[in-house]
Amino acid sequence: MEVAPTQGLSDSQFTAVDGKLIPEIEEQRVVSRIKVLRAEGYSIRKIVQALAREGIRTRKKTAFSVTQVARILRADCSSDSAPSTSRYNLQ
């Protein structure tokens, strides 16, 4: 079965396995850290710098970009809970 999220970066925080959404713990931890830094008043650029200083990298082991952090924050604002299975091609 091929499973592909249809939209939104928050979808990357979950993996569909046998029709069930399984949390991606490490990715959720990164999103939580980004949210904490934003709540502390960090700008997106400062968040990127803090992630680099803390050694937090993307799934592809590269440094986060301003665009990536902005998208994560935007996607997270639109969905603070697990995405519904209708956002996935589950059959």
Q: Based on the number of CB atoms within 10 Å of its own CB, is 30 exposed (0-12), middle (13-18) or buried (19 or more)?
A: buried
**27 neighbors 12 (Cβ within 8 angstroms):** yes
Mean pLDDT, consecutive 10-residue stretches, the chain (91 aa), reads: 42 77 86 96 98 95 96 78 47 41
State which H helix or E strand residue 67 sits in.
helix 66-78
Share of the chain above pLDDT 70, in %: 71
* Strand, coil or helix: 15: strand
- The answer to whether the predicted template modeling score (pTM) of the entire model surpasses 0.75 is no
Query: What pLDDT score does 58 carry?
Result: 93
State which H helix or E strand residue 48 sits in.
helix 44-53
